[in-house]
Amino acid sequence: MKIRSVTSLLAVIVLTVWGQCLAAGTDQQLKLKPGARGNLCLNCHNSFKEKLARKVIHTPLKKKDCSGCHNPHTSSHGKLLEAGTKTVCSLCHASMISAKPRSVHKVVADGGCMKCHDPHSSDNKNSLVKDGKALCFSCHKPLGEALAKVKYRHAPVESSCLSCHQAHASDKGPYLLKSEINLLCLGCHKSDKPLFINKHMNYPVSQALCTGCHNPHGSDSPGLLHKNVHSPVAKRMCNQCHMDASSATPLKVKSDGIGLCRGCHNDMVNRTFDKNRMHWPLLSRKGCLACHNPHASEVKGLLREPTAQLCYKCHDDTMRRQQKNISKHEPVVEGRCAECHDPHSSNFLFLTKKDHKFDLCVSCHDWGRHSTHPIGEKSVDPRNRNLSLGCVSCHRSHGTENKKLFFYKTTTEVCIQCHEKLTR
């Protein structure tokens, strides 16, 4: 025992002396003034006294080894860093993302370590720039604001987002969750408890998706149900759509596709089918459920996501084009797709609520009715005599790479498409 202690002490002394010799050697090579190591930078960078007084100090700074991250002379990177801000941390810290992650925090994937961590020091654990939820909500603002207002908050959310989520990446679940959604929920909410069974009308909901009905963060409804609840769910009439709870397949729905919804929403379905053009997903196997959540949703109309996000999931090309546009139509920017389009069916191209060439535009843009330029059914488009002149003869309704939603770069170019004689 004694021999071991002596050996350890000797090892420490040897390592310390060796380290100092190495440092001294380096200091000589760098021609540093005696005693300058670790203090030279701080002589000028006075503000670091305050940083050094904080509770958690990044190891290189603690050792006053500023050159661990910064080059004291020159650098191709800001703040004289040895590498770009997206990669400098990885010089010491191995990747926070495993080889096969299920989900990755975007800020981590983008190398934005410093958005959450202070590279010098902090009063918070892990050198975080803010503590706990405050840090998460500094980016996830809408969630933070919504949670501040709701009546009921999920208890783990009150304590920390990290109760359910990983900070960097998750190998086991979506949305950085520590495991699959249901596994995570059922870890606390035991599905074999009589209260759980009773609340769920004897249906084996542990096989379904908890977040289909519940908001895992918080809600104004008891039971943390989403803001908008489908009437049969609110009335606990699960068997209106599903097979009986005692049947062999209790979660199976009574009918596929639109047939199930038609049972109650018959008038609406009839109106939809009475039009010339159907939104094809409505006729797919998913039917109404392609866009709507049958149980509950945070979005009005039981939409699965806010309108724009939902539409762009399939109409990705529209979003791609929109990103290129300089002039953008306001409703498109604001994701109010349903302002012009009927998402179910229409008698018009593009499923617009009125003819997209003119009538639709003038429902908002009143000037269209007193424009001096010939426009309307009786005005023939000189470029193509099969067409009449409408707003879309010159403007692209979603937006373009040009001003005023014009198809062409300059006003002159727009005009001379028809007025060829005026071409100079």
Partner 1 sequence: MISAIRILVFLLAIAGSYNVHAAAVKFKPLAVAGQDSRNVPLKSPEGVACGPATVLVSDTGNGRLVRYSLVNDDLKDGAEIRLSQISYPLRARLTPKGEALVLDGKSRKIVRVAADNSFAGYLEPQNVPAPASIVTRSLTIDARGNIYLVDILGERLLVLDPNGVFTRQIPFPADSGYISDVAVDQQGAILILDSQKDQVFRAASNENTFKVMAKDLRNYLFYAVSIETDSRGRVYLVDQNDNGVILLGQDGAFLGRYLNFGWKPGQVFYPAQGCLAGNDIFVIADRDNSRVQLFKLQ
- Binding interface with partner 1 (CB under 8 A): 256-257, 275-278, 280-281, 283-285, 314-318, 320-321, 349, 381, 383-387, 407, 417
Nearer to partner 1 (CB atom), residue 8 or residue 255: 255
Written as one letter, the residue type at 311 is C
Closest distance between partner 1 and the C-beta of residue 394, in Å? 11
User: Least distance from C-beta 303 to partner 1, angstroms?
Assistant: 18
Looking at the Cβ atoms of 71 and 318, the one nearer to partner 1 is 318
Nearer to partner 1, 226 or 344 (CB): 344
**Closer to partner 1 by Cβ: residue 150 or 416:** 416
Residue 388, beta-bridge partner list: 380
Smallest separation, CB 168 to partner 1 (Å): 28
3-state secondary structure 216-270: CCEECCHHHECCEECHHHHCCCHHHCECCCCCCCCCCECCCCHHHHHCCCHHHHH
Helix (H) or strand (E) holding 183: helix 181-188
d(CA 116, CA 136): 9
Min CB(285)–partner 1 separation in Å = 6
Distances (CA, A) of 122 to 53, 64, 128, 162, 179: 9, 16, 6, 19, 30
Of 51 and 315, the one with the shorter C-beta distance to partner 1 is 315
In the complex with partner 1, the residue whose CB is nearer, 307 or 346, is: 346
Long-range contacts of 34-42 (CB under 8 A, 24+ apart): 37/64, 38/63, 38/64, 38/65, 39/64, 41/66, 41/72
In the bound state with partner 1, the residue whose beta carbon lies nearer, of 153 and 277, is 277
Q: What is the C-alpha to C-alpha distance for residues 149 and 259, in angstroms, rounded to an integer? A: 38
Q: Are 124 and 130 in contact (CB under 8 A)?
A: yes
Shorter beta-carbon distance to partner 1: residue 227 or 315:
315
Q: Which long-range contacts (CB under 8 A, 24 or more apart) does 248-252 make?
A: 250/203, 250/204, 251/203, 251/204, 251/207, 251/208
In whole angstroms, how close is the CB of 382 to partner 1 at the nearest point? 9
Task: For the beta carbon of residue 226, count every other beta carbon within 10 angstroms.
Answer: 22
Which CB, 170 or 345, lies closer to partner 1? 345
Amino acid at 390: G
CA–CA gap between residue 199 and residue 178 (Å, rounded): 26
- CA dist 297 and 291 (Å) reads 11
Minimum distance of partner 1 from residue 386's CB (angstroms): 4
Is residue 122 within 8 Å of residue 54, measured between CB atoms? Answer: yes
Q: How far is the CB of 323 from partner 1 (least distance, A)?
A: 12
What's the min distance (Å) between Cβ of 140 and partner 1? Answer: 29
Q: How far is the CB of 12 from partner 1 (least distance, A)?
A: 58
